[in-house]
Amino acid sequence: MQQFIELIRQPWPWYVAGPLIGLTVPTLLLIGNKSFGISSSLRHICAACFPANISFFKYDWKKEIWNLVFVLGVFFGGMIATNFMENPNAFQLSANTMADLRALGIQDFSGLMPADLFSMEALFSLKGFIFFVLGGFMVGFGTRYAGGCTSGHAIMGLSNLQVPSLIATCCFMVGGFTMTHLLMPFIFKLF
């Protein structure tokens, strides 16, 4: 049992974790023609908890209860891993990435997320407002506009050879590169 705990406490290489994630797609298709995606669970929660007279929420959400159970498993799995299975090794970040982030003013790399961005002080600043409120709105709007999130399109949609998912995934990538290389340095220079 101790060896199993040590095994799951360590970061898994991409060639192990990637195929395990990839195998969820055929598994879901084989066990009931289910579609993988995280953002659709918010629709199911709204339909279950706020039964309004809105056509978008008028459907049998109970048929999608497996998706809510999956998202709960992701949440509780993350909580268990964070509180009981912390990796004993220091978080590893490439020297080039650290140099790029230091050039933007991020100095604290002691945790999983830089405290310069993810602290209560940073949250209630203008920079925090831009990153979390406006950024969260843009992610939510983009997810709804694209008809799904990155996991739904990039994992499930591409494996089903769906052209809209290919277009959405390309747009996700272009948006990420644009934010990282153009907008984020500009936003950091404002403050």
Kindly report, residue by residue over 82-107, the tens digit of the pLDDT. 787 776 666 778 899 889 888 888 88
**Burial annotation 133-158 (CB, 10 A radius, 16+ → b, else e):** eeeeeeeeeebeebebbbebbbbbbe
Cα 173–chain centre separation? 14
| Whether pLDDT at 183 is above 80 | yes
pLDDT at 113: 79
Would the pLDDT of 150 be above 70? yes
Q: Is the pTM of this model over 0.75?
A: no
